[in-house]
Structure 1
Amino acid sequence: MSFRKIDIDAYDEDVLLEGELCEPDPRDPTQVLSDAKQKQAAVRSTLAKGDIPGALGIALDSIPYGPNVDEAKNLTLQTVVSILNSTKSSEINNVVKALSQDAQDTLMKYLYKGMGMPGWGDVSGSVLLGWHEKLTEVAGTGCIVRVMTDRRTV
């Protein structure tokens, strides 16, 4: 029975670690969290002005990725979800069209992250699925493929 306690991955040269799959965020984890908090404040003020595309552009710019930045990732997810919740379904198409291809791909990552949360977090499934439908119409299925193959997770 002692053989079951051996960590065979320690002896396997072919095991890939998360840090080897993609470059980690070059910023310090405290800097990443500080940036996420500043972006959240900027998004709130932009949303107060009614500029949803601008708010989403701010939230999707220089997102946190890699290990050791989980708090910043969660804060950014909450920020993006607040934008999605405050957008009327009739405006989604124009908002998505205003985003660059990179921002569209990043938005798709956050949609999948929200869908993967137990109980969908603090957003309803219909909101995420509505955004997913409109984003796929505008960005095409290539957006989904790029998100699924990108190693930088949000």
Structure 2
Amino acid sequence: MDVNFRKIDIDQYDEDALLDSELYEADPRDPAQALNDVKQKAASVRSSLAKGDIVGALTLVLEDAPYGPNLDDAKNLNLQTLVSILNSTKSSEIPGVIKALSTDAQDTLMKYLYKGMALPGWGDVSGSVLLGWHEKLTEVAGTGCIVRAMTDRRLV
């Protein structure tokens, strides 16, 4: 019995099929450079957290986030840095922090929240932290933030 038919990529014959490279431009940085940038950001975030500047720390993590293929190490380190910020923030401060972020930063934060929820066992963060941030972010940014995070092809 021949089972090779299951290994054929039929999308290569479909002229209407869209590739990820056609939907968005990948991060122009190579993986080593992106990882180095994220490591530098992580150090800056730690110093911002030591000063009590949560908005500044979140802005650093969310701006210029690594997108695209082959940047898994940088993406994971950026997620760990973000989780450290989320864990160190008091629940009463969350709405003010979210309001201080730009719309793009709020959308990127929503992507990271969903990525954290997708981890098996939710990684280093408890579910209540992620769900609390999700609730507050939805209250401030509205459901449009969820839609934009779900439909954007640039995965964090």
Aligned partners of 1:19 and 1:66 also within 8 Å = no
For each residue in 1:26-80, what CA deviation from the matched residue of structure 2 results, as whole angstroms up to 9, or x when unmatched?
1222111111000000000100111111111111110000011111000100010
In the superposition, relative to structure 1, how do residues 5 and 74 fare at CA in structure 2: closer, same or farther (>3 Å)?
A: closer
Q: Which residue of structure 1 lines up, in the alignment, with residue 108 of structure 2?
A: 106
Of 93-102 and 24-33, more deviation after overlay is shown by 24-33
Q: CA deviation at 1:8?
A: 3.1
Instruction: State the one-letter code of the partner of 1:58.
Output: L
Q: 1:152 to 1:7 in 2, by over 3 A?
A: closer
Amino acid at match of 1:101: T
* Alpha-carbon distance in structure 1 between the residues aligned to 2:63 and 2:29: 14
Match for residue 54 of structure 1 among 45, 53, 56? 56
- CA 146–5 in structure 1, closer or farther in 2 if over 3 Å, else same: closer
Superposition map of 1:5-154 within 5 A? 5-154=7-156
- Identical-pair percentage: 78
> Residues 52 and 19 (structure 1 numbering): CA distance in 2 closer, same or farther, change over 3 Å?
same
**For 1:54 and 1:64, how far apart are their aligned partners in 2?**
18
Q: 1:123 to 1:11 in 2, by over 3 A?
A: same
Normalising by the residue count of structure 2, what TM-score does the alignment of the two structures yield?
Answer: 0.92
Unaligned runs of 5+ in 2: none
Letter in 2 for 1:81: V
Residue range with higher mean Cα deviation, 7-16 or 22-31? 7-16
CA distance in structure 2 between the partners assigned to 1:117 and 1:39 by the alignment? 23
- Deviation of 1:23 after TM superposition, in Å, equals 0.6
* Superposition deviation, residue 6 in structure 1: 3.6
SS in 1 for 2:80: helix
Consecutive unaligned residues of structure 1, counting only runs of 5 or more, are none
- Structure 1 length-normalised TM: 0.93
Q: Distance in 2 between matches of 1:39 and 1:95?
A: 19
